[in-house]
Amino acid sequence: MGESIEATTTLQNSIQMPWLGLGVLHIPDGEVIEQVVQWALECDYRSIDTAAVYKNETGIGAALHKAVVPRDEIFLTTKLWNSDQGYESTLQAFQASLQRLGTDYVDLYLIHWPGPDASKFIDSWRALESLYKAGKARAIGVSNFQVHHLEPLLQESEIPPMVDQIEFHPHLQQPELIQFCVDQEIQVEAWRPIMKGDVINIELLQELGKKYGKTPVQVTLRWIIQRGFIAIPKSQDRDRIRDNANVFDFQLESDEIEQIDALDIGHRLGPDPDTFDLDF
């Protein structure tokens, strides 16, 4: 598992998805995001994670168009924003994302947040299923869905979600949700995996970093991958993008993984999915 940056995990529909990707939240559109994507591709990243609400899909599309790496070698994810939920509005929002990205398909399309109305995200999911059947999204999934969101979705769906992208890091590990996803063969993907960089202040990660000649950030990313989860650290700094990719030449011991597991304090850095309903 995760022996090189080219390594992938197999989603339940047999699609291959890289263990490590580039997150691009808050990276400005235009020249900035184009440069960041170029740096990431030069460091052998092959997965880019964006969203309609990030407002940088246009720049990502321009960067991919200029890239020497073929489009079919890049795993491109984008997401449906809250105010666009519903069957028809989801289809319209997806088409708008495709136009901004300058592509005729995405590799993964996610419902960004569950929202307060289950019937609405189920209608959105039916739209995702139609996009999947049409080949416009090679895989479909959700983001920030808890067990009580996934259960009705699974009951109503024809195609189960292949990914749940959740906040996951040493201080927030959501074990009940993780176990549910494992049982349902839903691939967990970690956003905010390095706690906005705050993992550098955790003593255990500092100690492990000294042992392996790595930074606390690299130890954290390695821990996530060894747990069997995808990590998408965000950076717009060239050196950090490179360093974040340098996590495939060492392996944590099982007891070290358990020690990091024990750091969980249930502390969210992002919104709570049960109360976050912005723009609904």
Q: Which structural domains are found in the chain, ordered by start? A: 8-261 (3.20.20.100)
Give residue-wise pLDDT tens across range 73-98: 999 999 999 999 999 999 999 999 99
- DSSP H or E run through 148: helix 147-156
In 16-74, which ranges are E strands?
16-18, 22-23, 47-49
DSSP 84-96: G-SHHHHHHHHHH
Strand partners, 8: 18
Of the residues 45, 54, 109, 132, which is catalytic? 54
pTM of the model: 0.97
Give residue-wise pLDDT tens across range 179-219: 999 999 999 999 999 999 999 999 999 999 999 999 999 99
Give residue-wise pLDDT tens across range 244-265: 999 999 999 999 999 999 999 9
Active site includes 45? Answer: no
Distance between CA atoms of residues 157 and 179, nearest Å? 20
Give residue-wise pLDDT tens across range 43-59: 999 999 999 999 999 99
Distance between CA atoms of residues 23 and 68, nearest Å? 20
